[in-house]
Structure 1
Amino acid sequence: MKYRKLGRSGLKVSEIGLGSWLTYGSATSEEAARACIHKAYESGINFFDTSNSYAGAEQVMGSTLKDYPRSSYVLATKLFFAQGPGPNERGLSRKHIMEQCEASLKRLGTDYIDLYQCHRFDHETPIDETLRALDDLQAQGKILYAGVSEWSAAQIAEASGIGKSLGLRPLISNQPIYNMFERYIEKEGVIHQCEQEGLGLVVFSPLAQGVLTGKYKPGHPIPQDTRAANNQTNGVINSYLREDVLQCTAKLEELAAEVGATLSQFALAWVLRQSAVSSAIIGSSRPAQIEENIKAIDLELNPDIVSRTEEILATIRHFAPMR
């Protein structure tokens, strides 16, 4: 495994991270989830990401990682989305942040969270209130670092400016979606802003919910043992299952073969070509998927291959983003 610093912090995370969205605690059995987490750790992955909004995922992740020394891995979770019907049971108010941090600590079975992330931007709460609450949690030792997820360049810039003016500990990460199809962070200046403010990118869905593994073929029915065939998870992936997108992935798979890689390895290497990306978060329902995907860290794409990739991707320029 290879490791990169998370933004300007001294924290080092594995180039491939393991996430739990739409998998652990829901679509994947607990036994399979534990096997994947063990395989990830034993393969050198030290970055594990979850959220209070992923049903049961925090419990599975926390209880499995207890088999290893706490100092040997980086545990990340998030908050924002509603946890109940009450008006204060969602968002990034001080009340919700403090209460949800305690709840996550209990579910994870740990004394501290390495990286606590704001799952979305809260338009109803002043940014300084959110930042002060996160800073207080750091002072208390309940979280070590704070980050955000799916924040715009302007929102990151504003938060950074406010944090500096108040003398607060800086945010160190942003978790946006990023893959060959979903590239808004390039076009909307998010990558540039994160680099300017010292935030590392821990990107999710680098394989486009499995479309960039090559398992979905143009003109063929959806395989029955896949995420797209699962009614619990197919709502997210359906936006990718267009004929032009699948034809594009078929061409990308041919290009990947030229460099001796699978399509998933090729797609992960494409994401990791960005120096601002600290870790690409994969999901996995089988340990074998982790074994295959981590090989991407040794794949370097030369300028010619990157250029040819862009030519293929240009055929779906009007792809409608998921977010």
Structure 2
Amino acid sequence: MEYHALGRSGLRVPRLALGTWLTLARIPRAEAAGLVAAALEAGINFFDTADVYDRGGAEEVLGELLAPHRREHLVVATKAFHPMSDDPNDRGLSRKHLFESVHASLRRLRTDYLDLFQFHRFDPETPLEETIRAVGDLIRQGKVLYWGTSMWSASQLRVACRLADELGVPRPISEQPRFNMLCREIEAEVLPACRELGIGLLFWSPLAQGLLTGKYRRGQAPPAGSRGADPRRVGQFLDRALASDEVWDRVERVLALADRAGVPPAVLAVAWCLRRAPEGTVLLGASRVEQLRELVPAATMDWPEGLEEALEEALAGPPLKL
């Protein structure tokens, strides 16, 4: 596994990380343990979670499974922002919530510090100065080593860096946006801003919730047990995407190119993210060991001549509204 600096920091992370959204706390414990073991075996020592994932359940399972391993060899990242209860202060990026969220995450993760503490969304109801001062204090207390953001705009990142400089607080070292062949909106502003500001990138949903794996087919019912077959998806990203002919046109062209190149579609999708942004790390949302092992070669995939150009042609068109 290749490692690189996360943003303009000394923290080195692998090109692939294990994400825990909709996975770790929802599968049998033995399978979850197998996933963590397979990740570590592949050199993936970076684990990303969030307090809101299964209402703390993902953090609890991750903490249990990482406990036997040497903490100094792991990179553990979590997030805060979304409501964790009906309490009006149990959400957002206020000083009160950030401190209580970090303490709760540390308990669930069975650790004394977080390598990376991320703000899951921008909070328009809390002064950004309050948020940055709070994370600066958490860093000074040794409870957080680095901080980052998720789904922030380019302008929000620029203001955050300026305020951090003015307040004498370390800048954020990472931004975690959605990025895949179908969702490329960050290429317009967020990606250039991160490069300008020295902010690293952690990409979620590289497979577009399975659309780029070949498991779904136009006009056919989603496979039983897949995310597409879950009735809770109605009105959400996957529901909209599965109903869009414009999406299917691009997906089918990508699948044909993957077949012609002899590359599994999922591997190609992950490798494409790293090709577009070599400084990034891709979060893998695998729920089975075999899925994870299939994707590991994406970190070092050799690109056949002309494949990248053919993909750009296959993906050409106006931005998809998903």
* TM over 0.5, shorter chain: yes
Match of 2:9 in 1: 9
State the one-letter code of the partner of 1:192: P
Match of 2:76 in 1: 75
| Alpha-carbon distance in structure 1 between the residues aligned to 2:231 and 2:37 | 27
State the one-letter code of the partner of 2:39: A
8 Å contact kept, 1:216–1:246: no
| Alpha-carbon distance in structure 2 between the residues aligned to 1:231 and 1:119 | 26
**Counterparts in 2 of 1:108 and 1:236: CA distance versus 1, 3 Å:** farther
Structure 1 residue 318, shift from structure 2 partner: 4.7
CA displacement, residues 68-90 of structure 1 (integer Å, 9 cap, x when unaligned): 11111110000000112122111
Structure 1 residue 276, shift from structure 2 partner: 5.6
Q: Is there any run of 5+ residues in structure 1 with no aligned partner, and where? A: none
Match of 1:36 in 2: 35
Match of 1:63 in 2: 64
CA displacement, residues 248-293 of structure 1 (integer Å, 9 cap, x when unaligned): 2222122123333111111111100134642100101110001110
| Alpha-carbon distance in structure 2 between the residues aligned to 1:277 and 1:229 | 35
C-alpha root-mean-square deviation of aligned residues, in Å? 1.6
Residue 246 (1) aligns with residue 248 (2):
yes
| Alpha-carbon distance in structure 1 between the residues aligned to 2:295 and 2:288 | 11
State the one-letter code of the partner of 1:201: L
- Per mean C-alpha deviation after superposition, the further-off stretch among 96-105 and 62-71 is 62-71
| Alpha-carbon distance in structure 2 between the residues aligned to 1:44 and 1:213 | 23
Match of 2:23 in 1: 23
State the one-letter code of the partner of 2:226: T
8 Å contact kept, 1:203–1:277: no
Q: TM-score, normalised by structure 2?
A: 0.94
Q: Is there any run of 5+ residues in structure 2 with no aligned partner, and where? A: none
Match of 1:204 in 2: 204
Structure 1 residue 237, shift from structure 2 partner: 2.2
Match of 1:290 in 2: 292
| Alpha-carbon distance in structure 1 between the residues aligned to 2:150 and 2:262 | 33
Equivalent pairs, count: 318
% of aligned pairs identical?
Answer: 42
State the one-letter code of the partner of 1:128: E
Q: TM-score, normalised by structure 1?
A: 0.94
8 Å contact kept, 2:261–2:304: no
State the one-letter code of the partner of 2:212: L
CA displacement, residues 103-148 of structure 1 (integer Å, 9 cap, x when unaligned): 0000111111110000000001111111111111111111111000
State the one-letter code of the partner of 2:314: I
What secondary structure, in the 3-state scheme, does the structure 1 residue paired with 2:68 have? coil
| Alpha-carbon distance in structure 2 between the residues aligned to 1:232 and 1:22 | 13
State the one-letter code of the partner of 1:269: A
State the one-letter code of the partner of 1:140: Q
Residue 213 (1) aligns with residue 213 (2):
yes
| Alpha-carbon distance in structure 2 between the residues aligned to 1:194 and 1:303 | 29
| Alpha-carbon distance in structure 2 between the residues aligned to 1:213 and 1:138 | 40
Match of 2:273 in 1: 271
| Alpha-carbon distance in structure 1 between the residues aligned to 2:272 and 2:303 | 7
What secondary structure, in the 3-state scheme, does the structure 2 residue paired with 1:125 have? coil
8 Å contact kept, 1:5–1:278: no
